[in-house]
Structure 1
Amino acid sequence: MFNLLGSARKGARAVLAIAAAAALSACDIDLSQVSGGGAKSNGGAVEVALLVPYGSATPGDDGLARALENAARLAAADLGEGKVNITVYRTAGQASTAASVATQAVAAGADVILGPLRSDAANAAAVAVAGTDVNVVAFSNNTSIAGGNLFVIGNTFDNIASRLMGYAGAQGRSRVVVVYPQTPVGQIGRSAIVKATSGTNVQVVGDGAFEFSEQGIISAVPRIANTVKETGATAIMLTSDSTGALPLLAQLLPEQGVSPAVTKYIGLTRWDVPAQTLSLPGIQGGWFALPDPTPVAQFNNRYRSAHGDAAHPLAGLAYDGIAAFGALASKKLAVSRGNLTQSSGFKGVNGVFRFKADGTNERALAIAQVTNNQVQIIDPAPKSFGFGGF
């Protein structure tokens, strides 16, 4: 644990903690105005079982597990004593282990399970405790596993695509070609985009599928460029990220005459991670969606102050989960399905979010534009549901 040095730093950390607590309450709850006392409807703190991949053979999983635990404990500390108790269970990144420890957690008195990380483990954990009244809030963004007692808290392609297509339609970018790899993830991304056009004036006018290999991308680019030109597309939606096809596409498509100055490039993934992505030629002037940068920056500062290193990009999901449970606890509400899906939602380090009855979620996102290799927010994230398209 990072040791604070001097009273000045203690004061700064206290300010961060107070700001975090105020920002991370439920939308209609101000934690700073809530007195102590019982948390659940039946009294006492909410007992949270945190399932994280300690002991996994996958490189990086132990570090991610530690980041998730650190973030969850920061949220519990910000909520104050007596709101949330956290017990950590090691899944080893295995679905069978996740199912086993989920059962153990319920037997030990858990009110809710936060985690596991990946969809197979999350599904196994939810199935294992399906006969109880304990809900599983998984870090996954895979909507195909959601439903019943399983909620996903990760930012989903459906949510991102909906925000981007709504904004594109409002800006007159109504004819879209979807560019995606012929992989399961690519197909999910494409489906999310097509689904998101419903209720908007946006049409998917062409497909830009490609084989997911270097040669496959290179071979497909002339065909994709012709599709853009022949359909009169005003935008192209790229589902790939910077570790996939995005760098090649952002270089080769402009070379084939798909000018970013004429055809808007829009990304289903984050273009600011890593930062070098922002220098790609094809995405200059392009759009992507991201959480409200202000609470994210506050959380990152809080995490670094507490632990001496940068927060993992997924760590905020653990904070969000604990913040939601704690907000319910502050109103003496149990972490039931009905309370989790309250329409007002919650405020987390990734902005406003709420769980839907089908186990998926809605998150308030900002629209960013890449301008001179920098991120420029051109349409801020809504601060509550009921505004800005929510």
Structure 2
Amino acid sequence: MFAAFKPRRGILKGLLAVSATALVIACEPIATGGGPSINTAKPVPVALLVPKSSQSSGDAVLSQSLENAARLAMSDLDGIKIDLRVYDTAGDASVAQAAALKAVGEGAKIVLGPVRSGPSNAVGVALASKGVNVLSFSNNASIAGGNVFVLGPTFNNTAKRLSRFAARNGKSNILTVHAQNVAGEAGKNAIAQALASTSSRSAGAVGYEFSQKGVINAVDDVRNAVRSSGADAIFLTSDTSGALPLFTQLLPEAGVKPESTQYIGLTRWDIPAQTLALPGVQGGWFAMPDPALTGQFRNRYASAYGTNPHPIGGLAYDGIAAIGALVSQGKANALTTTALTQGAGFNGVNGIFRLRVDGTNERGLAVATIRDKQVVIIDPAPRSFGGAGS
């Protein structure tokens, strides 16, 4: 495969402890729909499903980080009581399904987790008839819908943020370069959908076999597509553990220089940190959560637990923050689908976010570039949503 980096695989009191006002409150009352009734005068039972005993490397650490982040969020809720109950999924869909049914049988009113799409989908199916919503830590939009919401950052959200930024900054003709695998095709589709909602147009797409040879063979195709279409930007779906280092080395050598053709990345270009030293990524655009907020969370978590949070640990904090904010309104229908998807959204450790009726999410992201091997924010993350969600 690729001779590249190995993949690396968190306001707080002042931001979220405002009487659980992590919720940006809408004025209109919340209608009942799609969820259980709760007693807000008592601690609300919440199930956290994590892969504690999974045999996958790092899952034990990930599980502890998610639980720690959830408890940190609970400590920031002013007077709102959450009864957090942790269940082990072992990273297995059938075990996760059984754990979720047990949790609901024991009184859980909402489920946080599981981590991955397979177990999350299984849990959603099992709990659909129970009227219990699932806030999965997955970023796989294909499992979203019904009673399953994904909290992880999605390709669609990132593609929309970057496409709109590119259009506002004069990039009118954008070529997509993607791997011919599941992730690459999903990224290509997200970019195409995002571009369709802007003034920019798609200059087409170039696919490549997901291998070192495949990337090398695709370089001439990308160069020719740029020249024939007049593309002024290239949207790359690859990440630093895959094709990104090779493309950003070979494309400039082939004449597709970042000085004249803007490079845009669908993934984080600052992880791992070594990526920042690559000559080809200098000046590229990518999206990331508000670094000031994520830095606050990371420092506070480290102070509380003596170690840094897992990269997705903050999602558990976000989930508890949203639940606590809704419960703070004192409504029996606080955890229904209607309540969860109110348009004003929530504040989390990664910035503002809101859950959409289709089960996906919208997150406020910053646009960053790399200058002299340093991350520079060129368009800050929004601090509130304009208009209602959808």
TM-score under structure 2 length normalisation? 0.90
Deviations 1:63-105 (A, max 9, x none): 1111111101110111145421110000000000110000001
Structure 1 residues 24 and 225: alpha-carbon distance in aligned structure 2, compared to 1, 3 A threshold: farther
- Confirm or deny: 8 A CA contact 1:113 1:135 kept in the other structure: yes
| Equivalence for 2:33 | none
User: Secondary structure of 2:49's partner?
Assistant: strand
| Equivalence for 2:17 | 21
| Equivalence for 1:346 | 346
Deviations 1:311-341 (A, max 9, x none): 1110010000000000011111321111100
User: Secondary structure of 2:60's partner?
Assistant: helix
Distance in 2, Cα, partners of 1:324 & 1:70: 16
- Confirm or deny: 8 A CA contact 2:258 2:280 kept in the other structure: yes
User: Secondary structure of 1:79's partner?
Assistant: coil
Is structure 2 residue 206 aligned with structure 1 residue 208? Answer: yes
User: Superposition RMSD on alpha carbons, in Å?
Assistant: 1.8
Distance in 2, Cα, partners of 1:86 & 1:260: 49
Structure 1 residues 322 and 16: alpha-carbon distance in aligned structure 2, compared to 1, 3 A threshold: closer
Distance in 1, Cα, partners of 2:12 & 2:350: 16
| Equivalence for 2:288 | 290
Paired positions, count: 366
Give 1:133 deviation, angstroms: 1.8
Structure 1 residues 24 and 264: alpha-carbon distance in aligned structure 2, compared to 1, 3 A threshold: farther
- Confirm or deny: 8 A CA contact 1:237 1:268 kept in the other structure: yes
Deviations 1:123-165 (A, max 9, x none): 0001111111210000011111111111111110000000000
Distance in 2, Cα, partners of 1:341 & 1:212: 37
- Confirm or deny: 8 A CA contact 1:76 1:85 kept in the other structure: no
| Equivalence for 2:335 | 335
- Confirm or deny: 8 A CA contact 1:46 1:326 kept in the other structure: no
* Structure 1 segment 197-346 matched on structure 2, within 5 A: 197-333=195-331, 334-346=334-346
* Structure 1 unaligned blocks of 5 or more: 1-14, 30-38
Give 1:216 deviation, angstroms: 1.1
Aligned partner (choices 65, 68, 78) of residue 67 of structure 1 = 65
User: Secondary structure of 2:231's partner?
Assistant: coil
| Equivalence for 1:35 | none
| Equivalence for 2:139 | 141
Give 1:309 deviation, angstroms: 0.9
Is structure 2 residue 384 aligned with structure 1 residue 375? Answer: no
Distance in 2, Cα, partners of 1:24 & 1:236: 40
User: Secondary structure of 1:204's partner?
Assistant: strand
| Equivalence for 1:34 | none
Give 1:197 deviation, angstroms: 1.1
| Equivalence for 2:29 | none
Give 1:17 deviation, angstroms: 3.1
Give the residue type in structure 2 aligned to 1:363: R
- Confirm or deny: 8 A CA contact 2:80 2:328 kept in the other structure: no
Give the residue type in structure 2 aligned to 1:357: V
- Confirm or deny: 8 A CA contact 1:325 1:335 kept in the other structure: yes
User: Secondary structure of 1:319's partner?
Assistant: helix
Give the residue type in structure 1 aligned to 2:105: A
Distance in 1, Cα, partners of 2:66 & 2:276: 27
Deviations 1:332-368 (A, max 9, x none): 1321111100111100001000001111111111111
Give 1:199 deviation, angstroms: 2.2
- Confirm or deny: 8 A CA contact 1:24 1:348 kept in the other structure: no
Give the residue type in structure 1 aligned to 2:13: A
* Structure 1 segment 127-166 matched on structure 2, within 5 A: 127-166=125-164
Give 1:19 deviation, angstroms: 4.3
* Structure 2 unaligned blocks of 5 or more: 1-10, 27-36
Is structure 2 residue 174 aligned with structure 1 residue 170? Answer: no
| Equivalence for 1:360 | 360
Distance in 2, Cα, partners of 1:24 & 1:268: 32
- Confirm or deny: 8 A CA contact 2:114 2:120 kept in the other structure: yes
Give the residue type in structure 1 aligned to 2:123: A
- Confirm or deny: 8 A CA contact 1:52 1:91 kept in the other structure: yes
| Equivalence for 1:93 | 91
Distance in 2, Cα, partners of 1:92 & 1:304: 26
Distance in 1, Cα, partners of 2:12 & 2:233: 41
- Confirm or deny: 8 A CA contact 1:103 1:128 kept in the other structure: yes
Flag as ranges the 4+ runs of structure 1 deviating above 4 A.
39-42
Distance in 1, Cα, partners of 2:298 & 2:25: 24
Give 1:206 deviation, angstroms: 2.4
Distance in 2, Cα, partners of 1:24 & 1:173: 38
Give the residue type in structure 1 aligned to 2:253: E
Identity %: 53
